[in-house]
């Protein structure tokens, strides 16, 4: 009751302030008024989007229904806000009493009048561009947290920063990682009571994962929980995780896992379970991926790919559920966790739902981490089933690619990645941006370790003959491409089966938003932002933003008007590493698009643009040079330069100039843009060999396109 009254007062205050003021300093003391009480009552506060998943249940369902399946064709543009970078936009904005707080790529924050798009303040964390080289999956940021007049953001260089919600002024700035190691932060912080919780990324490059809690006022570290053990020779960490590693989790590791950190980064999902006063933490893959390299192929390797429950005040271990014991494919349990209740054998059970990378939809009892059910929501070929007695997968042994390559589905891209899903309590369906992503894995146990670059212990092959249909490498590549797809999947979590789905020929699609208007919104990498009937998937509305969309949308209301907002800007791992025909132009700057019924703001379409020509040369190169170049290309270059997000080297004039190439690759003249010197990992001769391979590959693709 008290919480309700506070809400009404806060709403009134915000409304009158917005009407009276255009100046952020005048909006003043009430900005960023998110509290424990307000979040506990967020279900009854549909106008606001107070935390990452809207409420602490993180269902990304807006109860608002002014925009609905009957009138969504009247949806029009309310306003746009253009950003200053064309890198990926993955953030979920936060809306508090008419003010939107949003983060962009490169860790910039904007506070906006949520009804007009007027910028109230801007903040730039001034991340050194060279740190972008440590970002496995683009220089993205998935959002801020707002709490008691403060805005919190984690940064690519591992800092956690508190800003004044009214002015954007920095209140404190703490370093949460060892910055000499390849850690990054891309995930959104979460706040519980007086602590802000933050994880990190970097398991591809060689780090040890953990999650930390900082005091919201002082920025002091309160507790830290490591998700994997350190080098036993170093002794205990003095961390909240020491006890559980001494009790049983430490014994699940073998070999010299600490040399590459072990992985287990907490890079996305962290959920506060208010009912049981516990923090649920989604833990990532192993570092390196290959289990035989990491742990001699022995042990479960706790707490990789686990949902981990911790005490929010102390970080003490409560329980865990591990999805992939002995993880070896880059499967993660970092995907979104959504809390709800479910009838299980006649009992009302508090559960957490997750659609992680490995393709199974898990429902786990939040009281003790026991498995309620798990069924595949996407094509997968690594497990026969999940055993309900033990909660462990019954694996297909060949899937571990120990003695022969295996076309594993899903690949490390996952059957679902960071792209938010949503759950509508109205339809009872979960809307998953699902993927089918086969990839041929080959054991590479003897690989050369490159700390700070990708370390997987896996060769990603063009499938050899016999593994997939096709007489030629081209035919087998085409088979893999034809089997790479995306789905907007409406999943019934009780029946554990699909209700409806829409197939796409590209997997890397945007997150979803479900609303009380019987709608599901999803953006696509072709730039469209779309609305569907939540019951049956009928397409109802579409708007072309001309920017690939990977983020999830939000909905909120100001002064009785409902808005739907989406961050548009293509990127993320697949944005850097792969592309389709319609992505050949460099992406334009990212943009926030906000819609309302009968919105009539103008949008000027981009001028047409042809892709740059392929680099061409009269130079010739010998076969040995090309082979060295190809190997280094795949080891160092493709992960960032095979998609539309970063410069396409095959179309870059730099490739035709040996001196310019060396200046970039070896001398690092573009380090401030994230293209650091690769001298620590390769010789000038190796770099030149890559140039040779790039030119030969550019010629091959140009000839191929000419034929088509
Ligand atoms: Ca990973």
pLDDT at 24: 44
Within this chain, domains 2-597 and 623-707 share the same CATH topology: no
Give the pairing type, strands 591-597 and 278-282: unpaired
C-alpha 573 to ligand 1 mean position (Å): 10
330 is a catalytic site residue: yes
Q: Specify the fold of 2-597.
A: Methanol Dehydrogenase; Chain A (2.140.10)
Q: What are phi and psi of 123, to 5 degrees?
A: -140, 140
pLDDT at 379: 97
**Band (29; pLDDT cuts 50, 70, 90):** low
pLDDT at 572: 85
C-alpha 570 to ligand 1 mean position (Å): 19
Between 4 and 640, residue with greater pLDDT: 640
Mean pLDDT of 114-138: 93
pLDDT at 7: 34
Q: What are phi and psi of 320, to 5 degrees?
A: -145, 155
C-alpha 481 to ligand 1 mean position (Å): 21
C-alpha 415 to ligand 1 mean position (Å): 13
Q: What is the mean pLDDT of the chain?
A: 93
Residue listed under structure tokens 């004039």: 653
Instruction: Give the CA angle between residues 644, 647, 651 to the nearest 5°.
Output: 95
C-alpha 459 to ligand 1 mean position (Å): 15
pLDDT at 202: 95
Mean pLDDT of 185-210: 97
C-alpha 279 to ligand 1 mean position (Å): 22
Length of the chain, please?
708
Give the pairing type, strands 383-386 and 393-395: antiparallel
C-alpha 334 to ligand 1 mean position (Å): 9
Q: How far apart are CA 356 and CA 364, in angstroms?
A: 13
In the chain, DSSP finds a helix count (H) and a strand count (E) of: 11, 40
Q: What is the DSSP string of 518-541?
A: TEEEEE-TTSEEEEEETTT--EEE
Helix axes 623-632, 684-707, angle to 10 degrees: 90
C-alpha 30 to ligand 1 mean position (Å): 40
Bridge partners for 367 per DSSP = none
Residue listed under structure tokens 């396109």: 705
User: What value does the CA radius of gyration of the chain take, rounded to a whole number of Å?
Assistant: 24
pLDDT at 616: 93
Between 553 and 3, residue with greater pLDDT: 553
C-alpha 595 to ligand 1 mean position (Å): 34
C-alpha 201 to ligand 1 mean position (Å): 8
pLDDT at 28: 54
C-alpha 681 to ligand 1 mean position (Å): 21
**253-296 pLDDT, tens digit each:** 999 999 999 999 999 999 999 999 999 999 999 999 999 999 99
- Six token digits for residue 289: 């991926």
pLDDT at 573: 83
**335-361 pLDDT, tens digit each:** 999 999 999 999 999 999 999 999 999
Query: What is the phi-psi region of residue 261: left when phi exceeds 0, alpha when psi lies from -120 to 50, beta otherwise?
Result: left
pLDDT at 523: 98
Residue 630 pLDDT greater than 70, yes or no? yes
Among 157, 156, 401, 450, CA closest to 291? 401
- Six token digits for residue 303: 């707490």
Give the pairing type, strands 561-568 and 591-597: antiparallel
C-alpha 305 to ligand 1 mean position (Å): 10
The active-site residue, picked from 330, 365, 443, 686, is 330
Residue 17 pLDDT greater than 50, yes or no? no
Residue 479 pLDDT greater than 80, yes or no? yes
Residue 19 pLDDT greater than 70, yes or no? no
Q: How far apart are CA 571 and CA 569, in angstroms?
A: 7
pLDDT at 673: 85
Domain ranges of the chain: 2-597, 623-707
The separation between CA 119 and the C-alpha centre of its own chain, rounded to angstroms, equals 26
Give the pairing type, strands 439-443 and 406-408: antiparallel
C-alpha 285 to ligand 1 mean position (Å): 5
Query: Can you identify the CATH homologous superfamily of domain 623-707?
Result: Cytochrome c-like domain (1.10.760.10)
The separation between CA 487 and the C-alpha centre of its own chain, rounded to angstroms, equals 17
Least confident of 21-35, 432-446, 624-638: 21-35
Q: Contact at 8 Å (CB) between 521 and 594?
A: no
Among 558, 557, 564, 477, CA closest to 520? 564
- Six token digits for residue 689: 């060999």
C-alpha 467 to ligand 1 mean position (Å): 25
Residue 441 pLDDT greater than 90, yes or no? yes
């Amino acid at each position: 009751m008290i919480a309700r009254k506070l809400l009404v007062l806060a709403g009134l205050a915000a409304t009158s302030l917005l009407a009276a003021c255009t100046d952020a300093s005048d909006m003043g003391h009430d900005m960023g008024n998110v509290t424990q009480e307000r979040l506990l009552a967020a279900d009854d506060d549909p106008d606001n989007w107070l935390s990452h998943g809207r409420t602490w249940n993180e269902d990304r369902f807006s109860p608002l229904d002014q925009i609905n399946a009957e009138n969504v064709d009247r949806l029009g543009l309310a306003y746009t806000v253009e950003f200053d970078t064309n890198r990926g936009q993955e953030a979920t904005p936060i809306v508090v009493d008419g003010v939107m707080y949003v983060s962009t790529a490169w860790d910039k924050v904007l506070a906006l009048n949520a009804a007009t798009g007027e910028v109230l303040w801007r903040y730039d964390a001034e991340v050194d561009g060279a740190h972008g080289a440590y970002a496995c999956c683009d220089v993205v940021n998935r959002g801020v947290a707002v709490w008691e007049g403060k805005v919190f953001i984690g940064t690519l260089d591992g800092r956690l920063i508190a800003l004044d919600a009214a002015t954007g002024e920095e209140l404190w700035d703490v370093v949460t990682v060892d910055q000499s190691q390849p850690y990054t932060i891309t995930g959104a912080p979460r706040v519980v009571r007086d602590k802000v919780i933050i994880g990190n990324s970097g398991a591809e490059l060689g780090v040890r994962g953990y999650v930390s809690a900082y005091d919201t006022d002082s920025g002091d570290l309160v507790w830290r929980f490591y998700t994997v053990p350190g080098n036993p020779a170093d002794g205990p960490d003095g961390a909240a995780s020491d006890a559980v590693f001494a009790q049983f989790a430490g014994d699940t590791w073998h070999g010299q896992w600490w040399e590459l950190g072990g992985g287990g980064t907490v890079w996305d999902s962290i959920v506060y379970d208010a009912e049981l006063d516990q923090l649920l933490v989604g833990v990532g893959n192993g570092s390196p991926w290959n289990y035989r390299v990491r742990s001699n192929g022995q042990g479960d390797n706790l707490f990789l790919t686990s949902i981990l429950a911790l005490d929010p005040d102390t970080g003490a271990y409560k329980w865990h559920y591990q999805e992939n014991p002995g993880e070896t494919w880059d499967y993660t349990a970092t995907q979104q966790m959504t809390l709800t209740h479910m009838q299980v054998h006649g009992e009302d059970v508090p559960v957490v739902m997750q659609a992680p990378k490995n393709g199974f939809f898990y429902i786990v009892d939040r009281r003790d981490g026991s498995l309620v059910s798990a069924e595949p929501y996407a094509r997968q070929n690594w497990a026969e089933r999940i055993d309900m007695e033990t909660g462990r997968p019954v694996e297909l042994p060949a899937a571990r690619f120990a003695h022969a390559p295996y076309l594993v589905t899903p690949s490390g891209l996952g059957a679902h990645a960071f792209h938010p899903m949503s759950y509508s309590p109205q339809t009872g369906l979960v809307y998953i941006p699902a993927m089918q992503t086969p990839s041929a894995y080959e054991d590479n146990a003897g690989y050369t370790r490159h700390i700070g670059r990708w370390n997987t212990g896996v060769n990603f092959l063009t499938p050899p003959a016999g593994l997939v249909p096709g007489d030629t490498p081209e035919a087998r590549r085409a088979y893999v491409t034809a089997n790479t797809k995306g789905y907007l999947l409406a999943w019934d979590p009780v029946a554990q089966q699909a209700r409806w789905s829409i197939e796409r020929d590209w997997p890397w699609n945007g997150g979803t938003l479900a609303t009380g208007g019987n709608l599901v919104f999803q953006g696509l990498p072709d730039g469209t932002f779309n609305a569907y009937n939540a019951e049956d998937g009928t397409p109802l509305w579409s708007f072309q933003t001309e920017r690939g969309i990977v983020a999830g949308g939000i909905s909120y209301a100001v002064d009785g008007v409902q808005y739907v907002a989406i961050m548009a800007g293509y990127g993320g791992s697949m944005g850097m590493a792969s592309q389709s025909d319609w992505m050949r132009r460099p992406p334009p700057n990212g943009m926030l698009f906000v819609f309302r019924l009968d919105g009539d703001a103008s949008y000027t379409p981009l001028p047409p643009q042809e892709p740059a020509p392929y680099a061409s040369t009269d130079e010739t190169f010998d076969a040995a040079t090309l082979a060295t170049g190809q190997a280094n290309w795949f080891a160092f270059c493709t992960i960032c330069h095979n998609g539309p997000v970063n410069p396409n080297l095959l179309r870059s004039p730099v490739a035709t100039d040996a001196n310019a190439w060396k200046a970039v690759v070896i001398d690092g003249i573009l380090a401030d843009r994230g293209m650091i010197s690769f001298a620590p990992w390769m010789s000038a001769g190796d770099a030149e060999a890559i140039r040779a391979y790039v030119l030969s590959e550019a010629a091959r693709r140009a000839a191929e396109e000419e034929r088509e």
